[in-house]
Amino acid sequence: MRSITLGRTGVEVPVVSVGTWGHSGPARVKRHAVGWAGGDDEAARAALLRACELGLSHWDTADAYGNGHSEEMIGGLWQTVPRSQVFLASKTGWVKGSAHGYEPDHMRRQIESSLRRLRTETIDLYYLHHCDFGPDDRYLDSAIALLREFQAAGRVRWIGLSDWDSAKVARYAPVVEPDVVQVYRSLLHDPYHESGLADWVAVHGAGVCFFSPLQHGLLLGKYRKPPELDPGDHRSGRPEFRDADLLARLRRCRRAVEVRFGERAQPLLDALLTPLVADVPGACVLVGMRRPEHAEAAAEVCADLSAADIDWVRRLYRGLSSP
């Protein structure tokens, strides 16, 4: 597995890193599904252990994933996996207190809880999980100050800023001054450059993690019909998982990719992931790995397609609809 230097942190991480939102289990907040169904803890633990064996040593979690369940699972592995072998990232912001996820007392408790569940002295990278800082950005300054306080105390090493919307991260990055940004990017959803975030990152040398690069598995073209999803699985609320026509077109794309790159160990993963990291130095992708086979496949990704091949892949997927 190729490594990248995660921007100004100077830390080397695998270009394909490990996402653990899928380890959260089904969950709903008010009327919205926010979890993942269809997984199991044993497989999730086995996936993390296999990932580590294969050198996939950058793990991404959050306090919100299963309300701490994903963090607890990771914290339970240090007898098997040396803590020093993992670059560990977590986040806070989506679990709301009585007022707001960044309300200072609540946020302090959340960071302390992350440290406790992860059973670690220091979290390598800790993100503000979203860019909603309350009315008139009421909680912005205090959220930054709290992260800096934990950093000064050696409990957090690097600071990150995340959101589904790259433009919001571009807007707040000059104030937060994150070492790493984490945003949504896939072949069908690609506002990274036009949002202005790419320019900020280039000037400031931040590291970049692109999340949900497979659009939660959708882009793999593995569904023959709209899947039946548990109401606590966030994919149940996403119209693209119910779009039979899109699913059929994604299956056709998959077949075309497998013909063109058939000599590769992971033709489809190489095609879907390489374009996202090829044009951003210091970028990795976070792939959700719920089973050991996911880690084994990810470890075979080369992410080294030529410019002509990347152009071919982009043209193949261009025009497929995406929200």
The closest of 247, 214, 226 to 320, measured between CA atoms, is: 247
Does 243 bind ligand NAP (CB under 6 A)? Our answer is: no
Does 57 bind ligand NAP (CB under 6 A)? Our answer is: no
Least distance between ligand NAP and beta carbon 308 (Å):
25
Least distance between ligand NAP and beta carbon 55 (Å):
16
Window of 46-54, 74-82, 215-223, 276-284 that interacts with ligand NAP by CB under 6 A: 215-223
Among 69, 216, 254, 264, binds ligand NAP (CB under 6 A): 216
The closest of 72, 27, 66 to 48, measured between CA atoms, is: 72
| CB-based contact 178:160 (threshold 8 Å) | yes
Least distance between ligand NAP and beta carbon 164 (Å):
6
Does 302 bind ligand NAP (CB under 6 A)? Our answer is: no
Window of 43-51, 193-201, 237-245, 289-297 that interacts with ligand NAP by CB under 6 A: 289-297
Tokens of 222: 């593995």
* Contacts of residue 3, Cβ cutoff 8 Å, sequence gap at least 6: 12, 13, 14, 15
What sections of 103-189 are H helices per DSSP?
A: 104-117, 140-152, 166-176
| CB-based contact 77:119 (threshold 8 Å) | no
Among 60, 124, 179, 270, binds ligand NAP (CB under 6 A): 60
- Using CB atoms within 10 Å of the CB of residue 187, give its burial: 0 to 12 exposed, 13 to 18 middle, 19+ buried: buried
Does 19 bind ligand NAP (CB under 6 A)? Our answer is: yes
Among 67, 290, 305, 317, binds ligand NAP (CB under 6 A): 290
**Near ligand NAP in 87-126, by CB under 6 A:** none
Does 20 bind ligand NAP (CB under 6 A)? Our answer is: yes
Number of residues that bind ligand NAP (CB under 6 A): 23
DSSP 238-278: -GGGG-HHHHHHHHHHHHHHHHHTTTSSSHHHHHHHHHHHH
List contacts with ligand NAP (CB under 6 A): 19-22, 60, 129, 162, 164, 182, 211-217, 220, 286-288, 290, 294, 297
